[in-house]
Amino acid sequence: MFIPAASDWCPPADCTLLLPAVSVGNVGQLAIDLIISTLNMPKVGYFYTDCLVPMVGNNPYATNEDNSVELCTNAEVYALPSKSLAVLQIRSSLIKKKSRPFRQALTCWIKKCGFAKVVLLSSSYAYQRDDQQILGSPFRYLVTPGLQTSVADIMKELQWKEMEKVSLYPGINDEEKKISIPGGGFTKQMFEGCCSEDIHMAVVLKFCSEGDNIPDAFALLDHLNKWLHLHIPTNDVAPHWKTPSSWRLLFGSGLPPMLF
């Protein structure tokens, strides 16, 4: 359930919603952090649910002492009316066996808001790629039937590769195929749910491995920016994404000098 921060917030008719999947390397969440920080998006509310691990913390996008004391929760909504853009940031993992009710609640909210399109940022295990996925671009996309018509020409112009289907029984029966996104969290289920609910949704993902996934987040965002033009580059230079202040402690505070 969406709870507005101050007054009722209603997205414009042409509003795009971006959200991450809690997937391998947290690449989608890191990319969403960069979007919020770079565009300086104000918080308009939070998504209240008992399906996510509870958490609370300081403002991850603090720029001074005054706003550093603001609190953040596990699922918050940010918006930028000038770009007709809304973002749902998810900061904790799903509680076991509560993926389905979370997806249902999320789908109901998306339909209620009437977003023009939804883009899910995700990732998948690089080591589980099949032969056709190893060569070429590490990025893939999926679109629901409702969005396919309006973006088909754009995807073709950008030369993006659609996520391949893999055999259900490799080497035995290669006729039966399905979409497989190992390490993608609820990506596949959310996509299939949006297909059945006729929601205009796209999945944009990157193959990667666990580790320092900051470069993967930057790469995914640069890739997405070619389509959505979230941040316009200047002088034909690649867009400069602003890292949030919270990333300074992404890998801890370092070793105490007293150890040496």
pLDDT digits (tens, 9 = 90+) for 50-69: 999 999 988 899 888 788 88
| Tens-digit pLDDT profile for residues 2-14 | 888 866 778 888 8
| Sign of the torsion formed by the C-alpha atoms of 113, 231, 81 and 54 | positive
Query: What is the spatial distance between Cα 231 and Cα 202, in angstroms, rounded to a whole number?
Result: 19
**Residue 55 CB neighbours (<10 A):** 12
15-251 CATH choice from 3.40.50.11540, 3.10.20.740, 3.40.50.10900, 3.40.50.2300:
3.40.50.10900
pLDDT per residue as tens digits for the range 200-214: 999 999 999 998 999
Is residue 234 pLDDT above 70, yes or no?
A: no
Q: Please return the burial class of 232, using the count of CB atoms within 10 Å of its CB with bins 0-12, 13-18 and 19+.
A: exposed
- Of 16, 193, 11, nearest in space to 119 by CA: 16
Contact 27, 187 (CB under 8 A): no
Among 2-6, 60-64, 107-111, 232-236, whose mean pLDDT is lowest?
A: 232-236
Taking only the tens place, the pLDDT of each residue in 190-200 is 999 999 999 99
- Model confidence at 166, pLDDT cuts 50, 70, 90, reads confident
Give the DSSP H or E segment for 106. Answer: helix 99-113
CA 20 from centroid of its chain's CA atoms: 2
pTM above 0.85, yes or no: yes
What is the pLDDT at residue 77?
94
Per the CB < 8 A criterion, the answer to whether 217 and 141 are in contact is: no
